[in-house]
Structure formats: structure tokens, C-alpha cells
Amino acid sequence: MKAVILAGGKGTRLAPYTKILPKPLMPVGDMPILEIILRQMKRAGIKEVILTVGHLSHLMQAFFQGGQRIGLKISYSFEEFPLGTAGPLSLIEGLDETFMVANGDVLTTLDLRDMIAAHQQNEAVATIATHTRRVKVDLGVIQYDGDDRIAHYIEKPIYDYNVSMGIYLFEPKVLEYIPCNQYLDFPDLVLRLIEAGERVKGYSYDGYWQDLGREDDYEQAVQDFESLREQILGD
């Protein structure tokens, strides 16, 4: 199985760190977050990985090169201009079997082998790893019922949402819904698949997951990694 890792973003929410270092090279423990993801993919049986790169791509090429150090075949797909999260897939050749796509800034204990097995069993064209994220509103929430009439008052409510973990499994048919070299994000791609009647499934995971998009999330992930290292890497 091949995998595509989206590593071309500028990581603006992690500035100023990402002014000189691409977000996938941000260190977590003794290695970059991208290396952790690559090692998890190798453990799951993935042999070849394509990195979609743009911002500071030369640093990622210099660090990972062809993947020999990790035991993977790594190649690079360059974006001349931003193509969103799904658009870069249109530039990659050879995605003619089930393939994985992942963001280059995700720290999780998810066993990718289990997700692959579920995807194959469900015979889905796309499977999205999901996680329940709890959001607390530290204010009283007012609900209106027309003409400024207050219908309900909720003090500091807590809401649970199923969110995308940034890990996907796709069948080659998905590529038919991605225009070549045009901007497209994953939410728009998924909506296109649903509207076309394609089978899109979720893979719910309640274990550890952290997106490294914001500074406080990144700092939390760095703290968590040491205690979860064996679960994350299988060492």
C-alpha cells in the first residue's frame, strides 16, 4: 500500500517556529512529528510514501531524502501554488490501489492496521478516522425563538463533536472527483462523494489523538509523547 502525507502547508498557527522550520519537522521527543508518522506507516505495512511539499521543502528533502534510513521509499510531489488538502492528490501518479492519506502533523496511538482492515471490510470508497472532541463554552448560551424572544438559556454547556483526525483511506475511484491541479479541500471532496452516492465510512477512535496545529496543542503533544512512546511507535 502507498501513502500520501500532506506536508506542504506553511503552519501559520505555529509561527514564529514555522518561519524557519516546516511544521512536519517540528520535534516531538527525539524526532520530528513527520518521522513518527512515517514509522507508524512502516509498522502498518506501508512500503512507499509520497510527501506533498511546498513551504521549505528543501529541508524535508535534506532530512528524509529517499527514506532509506527509515526503511521506506519516499518521493516528493511539489505544489507550485497552494492546492488545498485534497487538490495535491491530482498530481500524484500511480495511486491505482487502496491508498492512505494523512496530515503531516498528527500524533496518535491509532493502529493504522486496524483502520485498514475496517476499510477493506466495509468496502467503502473512503474511510475517515474520527475522534470525539469535547468543547466547553465558558459562557451562558442564549437560544432565540423569533422576535428576540428567548426560548432557552444554557449555562456553560458542553458539546461533543465527531471530528476528522486527518487520516484517510481512499480507493482510486476517489481521484475521479478531484480536478487536476485545482484547489480542493477534503470537506468539499467528501461532500462530492456523498452527493454522488459513494460509500463513505467513518472509523471512530477513542484513544489518544492530538493535532499539532496550535502552539498549546504542540506543547501538550511534546509532553504526552514520552509517556505514550511505546504505544505510538510500538518500540
Catalytic sites, residue numbers: 156
Q: Are 118 and 168 in contact (CB under 8 A)?
A: no
Q: Which three cell numbers stand for residue 32?
A: 520530528
Q: What is the CA radius of gyration of the chain?
A: 19
- Nearest CA to 102 among 22, 170, 166? 166
Residue with cell 492496521: 113
Three-state secondary structure of the chain: CEEEEEECCCCHHHCCHHHCCCHHHCEECCEEHHHHHHHHHHHCCCCEEEEEECCCHHHHHHHHCCCCCCCCEEEEEECCCCCCCCHHHHHCCCCCCCEEEEECCEEECCCHHHHHHHHHHHCCCEEEEEEEEEEECCCEEEEECCCCCEEEEEECCEEEEEEEEEEEEECHHHHHHCCCCCCCCHHHHHHHHHHCCCCEEEEECCCCEEECCCHHHHHHHHHHHHHHHHHHHCC
